[in-house]
Amino acid sequence: MPGAYADIYRRSLEDPERFWAEAAQAIDWIKPWDRVLDTSNPPHNRWFRGGQLNTCHNAVDRHVAAGRGSQTAIIYDSPVTDTQSRLTYAKLQDLAARCAGALAARGITKGDRVVIYMPMIPEALVAALACARLGAVHSIVFGGFAAPELAVRIDDSRAKLVITASCGIEPTRLVPYKPLLDQAIELAKHKPEHVIIVQRPQQPAELRPGRDADWADAMAAATPHACVPVDATDPLYILYTSGTTGQPKGIVRDNGGHAVALNWTMRHIYDMAPGEVYWAASDIGWVVGHSYTIYAPLLAGCTTVVYEGKPVGTPDPGAFWRVIAEHDVKVMFTAPTAIRAIRQQDPEGKHLASHDLANLRALFLAGERCDPDTLQWCERQLGRPVIDHWWQTETGWSIAANCLGIEQLPVKAGSPTRPCPGWDVQVLDHAGHPTPRGDIGAICVKLPLPPGTFPTLWNADQRYRETYFTEYPGYYKTGDAGLLDEDGYVHVMARTDDVINVAGHRLSTGAIEEVLATHPDVAECAVVGAADDLRGQLPVGLVVLNAGANTASADVSQQCVELVRDRIGAVAAFKTAVVVDRLPKTRSGKILRGTIKKIADGEPYKVTPTIEDEAVLPTIASALAGAGYAKP
């Protein structure tokens, strides 16, 4: 349908209420809404005011009622335990109802908060759906998260109950969760009344009498619970993300707009049909796992894959390709950093060649900026569309994407294509005026935000307004910098803080990273702006080489400097490219550029609780010191 995207996008902005009311017809409502969009208290705009529904019903029960109970809802694939299993929609309905009954037996009712502190196992999805079934508000915390950080989240949410597992399983070690949870509860001012624990055979946990219950026992004793009607504007979950003040921000997602928007995205962005297998290779502790492992695939009647493993090392760089081939995955979604890890270990794609990926239609990438070289490498290896798309924890779904279910637009490497329907994306200068096409500025979204985003922060309305809506009145500040090109394509270049000023010239660190990534021996890279007495800031690059690269580090460093001078020019003043073994990252794969910058500037830095491996930081400091940085 040539031109379909332009028409749908135009309609979504001209008449958003009609557009989303039509989308809302695709899910079940207990009571229709009074107002599609309530703008009486901006920026806290609310969708489907007065409507009632239940998210668990829409994700599970309605598919069973439609006669599709025997279809697989969840595929569990765990290379770290060497197990696989499947749950049908009918079985998932029974488990969610029983789990809801177990929660209700412990006093959990509509509006109560439940913390879910779990590894990637099917019980984690059952727990989330059980909360939704009761109208309870879940807060999923990454399994193995540090006890002090878990305590902060328990306190902020005032959770009445915690659902956890006895341990998580990494490729080389077990991570006992129970000691971390016990410590967190001891640290927390607010004490949860109950804990339910999935006992994993690899390391069972000792239960505390009177507070702790075994998951299997609780489920066996439970009476299945029906779905509880909730208002469309009632919260479904709180997802905490680290804040600049040190106090986590609790992103709130409501029930109605969330169900409508995510169901819509599965058909229109990912081109998925009911019954097909969709795989978002993300932990459920992150927003991708919330949106596209748990809710969106099930809302759309698809099969979702729960993967307990890594892109490399479980057992090799072909792990992702094996899962796609074995489970007939039609569309996969992962982070660019996962692809870079695979490429670093298997630059020639030898492991991919041994798997039949004939049924894979597309691979979507998001989580951090995707450099063109990574995208093009993946396209060459897969021989099918590789779609970069851009969104945030706050938004819950794509701000910009190549919407395969509407019209596949030409790909521009380095761009997540054009804004999705519902998103009025504009690039603004410091004064809040739109920039000329091609000029870098702050990427913002004109209000109202579409459904499925975040109407507020948990117990922090004022912080919500000040953080996101004050600097550019009438707009949501994404915190990302970039541009709109002459074709209306979005180019996300860096976080706003990563646009550096070199002797008065504004430069994007992302643009420099794009150049470094084209070096044939560079697997991944990061560029930060380090303080400089003469120029204000200077770009400093860290590069990781492909496995088996024969080029000497000194040669690669010099070649990287020359590449940037050739492609960007002397104005970049790029003189330092340091070769390192690996980059510091969060467990979701995001490079800790802010921490690297502080190390380069010799400033004290806080070790983020989401860091994958603290041991990498001293090696980064040593490498930067060798290049003349990291001096207090």
Name the burial class of residue 350, with classes exposed (0-12), middle (13-18) and buried (19+) by CB atoms within 10 angstroms of its CB.
exposed
Q: What is the pLDDT of residue 1?
A: 45
Query: Domain with 45 in it: what CATH number?
Result: 3.40.50.12780
Q: What is the pLDDT of residue 566?
A: 84
Query: How many independent structural domains does the chain possess?
Result: 2
Which residues, including other chains, have CB under 8 Å from residue 345's CB and lie 6 or more apart? Answer: 312, 316, 317, 547
Q: What is the pLDDT of residue 245?
A: 46
Residue 525 lies inside a defined structural domain of this protein? yes
The answer on pLDDT for 246 being more than 60 is no
Examine the domain organization and report whether 133 and 274 are in the same domain: yes
Would you say 132 and 97 are in contact if contact means Cβ atoms under 8 Å apart?
no
The answer on pLDDT for 553 being more than 50 is yes
Examine the domain organization and report whether 294 and 398 are in the same domain: yes
Examine the domain organization and report whether 37 and 150 are in the same domain: yes
Rounded Cα–Cα distance for residues 481 and 475 (Å)? 14
Q: What is the pLDDT of residue 202?
A: 96
The answer on pLDDT for 404 being more than 80 is yes
Examine the domain organization and report whether 182 and 275 are in the same domain: yes
Q: What are phi and psi of 415, to 5 degrees?
A: -125, 135
Residue 323 lies inside a defined structural domain of this protein? no
Name the burial class of residue 341, with classes exposed (0-12), middle (13-18) and buried (19+) by CB atoms within 10 angstroms of its CB.
buried
Task: For 514-570, give the DSSP string.
Answer: HHHTTSTTEEEEEEEEEEETTTEEEEEEEEEEPTT--S-HHHHHHHHHHHHHHHT-G
Rounded Cα–Cα distance for residues 589 and 597 (Å)? 18
Closest CA to 530 of 544, 512, 555: 512
Would the pTM of this model clear 0.85, i.e. be above it? yes
Rounded Cα–Cα distance for residues 478 and 490 (Å)? 13
Examine the domain organization and report whether 578 and 518 are in the same domain: yes
Rounded Cα–Cα distance for residues 305 and 315 (Å)? 18
**Parallel, antiparallel or unpaired: strands 475-484 and 441-446:** antiparallel
Rounded Cα–Cα distance for residues 422 and 489 (Å)? 15
Rounded mean pLDDT of 367-379?
Answer: 87
Rounded mean pLDDT of 206-212?
Answer: 96
Q: What is the pLDDT of residue 244?
A: 45
**What average pLDDT does the structure give for the chain?**
93
Q: What is the pLDDT of residue 497?
A: 62
The answer on pLDDT for 546 being more than 80 is yes
Percent of the chain surpassing pLDDT 70: 97
Q: What is the pLDDT of residue 302?
A: 98
The answer on pLDDT for 382 being more than 80 is yes
Q: For 435-458, what is each residue's pLDDT tens digit?
A: 999 999 999 999 999 999 999 999
Residue 343 lies inside a defined structural domain of this protein? no
Half-sphere exposure for 516 (CA within 13 Å, toward CB): 32
Residue 329 lies inside a defined structural domain of this protein? no
Residue 101 lies inside a defined structural domain of this protein? yes
Structure tokens at 566: 């050739």
Q: For 25-47, what is each residue's pLDDT tens digit?
A: 999 999 999 999 999 999 999 99
Would you say 445 and 399 are in contact if contact means Cβ atoms under 8 Å apart?
yes
Q: For 282-334, what is each residue's pLDDT tens digit?
A: 999 999 999 999 999 999 999 999 999 999 999 999 999 999 999 999 999 99
Which value, to the nearest 10 degrees, does the dihedral of the CA atoms of residues 193, 198, 203, 208 take?
Answer: 20
Q: What is the pLDDT of residue 345?
A: 93
Rounded mean pLDDT of 581-610?
Answer: 86
Residue 258 lies inside a defined structural domain of this protein? yes
The answer on pLDDT for 419 being more than 80 is yes
Among candidate residues 430, 450, 482, the one where a domain is terminated: 482
Rounded mean pLDDT of 266-278?
Answer: 98
Examine the domain organization and report whether 467 and 537 are in the same domain: no
Q: For 452-478, what is each residue's pLDDT tens digit?
A: 999 999 999 999 999 999 999 999 999
Rounded mean pLDDT of 415-432?
Answer: 96
Rounded mean pLDDT of 74-98?
Answer: 98
**Domain encompassing residue 564:** 503-626
